[in-house]
Amino acid sequence: MPAGLRRYLPIFEWLPRYDRGLLARDAVAGLSVWALVVPSSIAYAAIAGVPAQYGLYAVPLALIGYLVFGGCRQLFVGPAATVASISAVAVASATTTATTPSQVVASTAVLSLMVGAIYLLLGVARMGFLARFFAKPVLDGFIAGLGLYIAIGQLPKLVGIEKPSGDTVAIAVRTLGDIGNWQWWTVAVGVLSLAGLFALARFVPKVPAVLVVVALAIAAVHALDLEGKGVAVVGTIPTGFDFVPWSGIGWHQLLELLPGAFAIVIVGFAQSVAIAKAYGAKAGYRVDASQEMLGYGAANLGAGVLQGSRSPAASESPRRPRRRAASHRSSLRSPRSRSC
């Protein structure tokens, strides 16, 4: 393979030298990622405003895309609450684009393709140095505000009522004011689940809190017949792929979605590259921010092709890599890679 092309495909540097002795541990890590990605993808599909199955569609090609083009060895590309929320707002703002459920799905997928194209263009142009200019206090404030927006938006589901109309403050006030219509079994499930998540993260951080809580919740639904008591469940998720038509997306709609695409790129890249560089520094290798752009671009294109529900962002691996794996794989980095 030409050296110039190999530069953009890190997989051809490390895969031929992969230590097969690490395969068992990597297989366990892969199963852990799968177990976390499935429920989180379903949840983030709801935040993005599309059916649950489209959250799962976003995963397969996104993971492969980052595997081939990405440069960080301790991350996987998967669901991100911030990106899902921005995607929902961007599609909702493009009022002429999404007027039916199928058009919402198509617009969300097109948005993911646009994000992927922007990432690829920036990566090929070696624009990774832009990461130096992100103001951390501004980004932290934005993410904190977005977290509140997501939490309040999900509050009606937590108490079992229809989501009130209005802005974020109005939704919070009207939800609290409608306490007489709360479904108390739903409230109990939500409060106990949140308490379990926080308690496990605080006292036994090595235990996969999300998996434990999800498993206990599934068991409780069946054992206590919670669905019969008014607790909403996801229900049956369609198997296979059920694509919607791509028709109806024209240049005008693309222009409406463009600001949202840039917002996703800025927020997603700032979050992901910071985590990637931190893990690279800990494991003893450099992460090339421009190469990361190519990895995120390939992941978003993969999600969009399968009409995934949101553009993925890099997330931390559910396991902490051991020194043996890190030191071995750090020796496989390309001499061409350079840190921004």
Mean pLDDT over residues 123-132, rounded? Answer: 84
Prediction pTM value = 0.76
Res 97: pLDDT = 54
Calpha distance 92→227 (Å, rounded): 31
Q: 202-210: long-range contacts at Cβ-Cβ below 8 A with a sequence spacing of 24 or more?
A: 208/32, 208/35, 208/36, 208/318, 210/36, 210/39, 210/40
Question: Is 11 within 8 Å of 67 (Cβ atoms)?
Answer: yes
Neighbours of 208 (CB within 10 A): 17
Contacts 24+ apart (CB under 8 A), 146-150: 146/81, 146/82, 146/85, 146/86, 147/81, 147/82, 149/85, 150/47, 150/81, 150/82, 150/85
SS (H, E, C) 94-142: CCCCCCCHHHHHHHHHHHHHHHHHHHHHHHHCCCHHHHHHCCHHHHHHH
* pLDDT of the residue at 185: 92
325, pLDDT greater than 50: no
Q: Tell me, what's the pLDDT at 29?
A: 80
Q: Quick: pLDDT tens for 65-110.
A: 988 888 887 777 777 788 888 888 888 887 655 567 888 888 889 9
User: Which distant-in-sequence residues (6+ apart) come within 8 Å of 4 by Cβ?
Assistant: none
Mean pLDDT, residues 4-30 taken together: 81
Tell me what pLDDT residue 184 has. 92
Q: What is the mean pLDDT of residues 311-335?
A: 44
What is the pLDDT at residue 187? 93
Domain spans of the chain, in order of start:
3-134+251-330
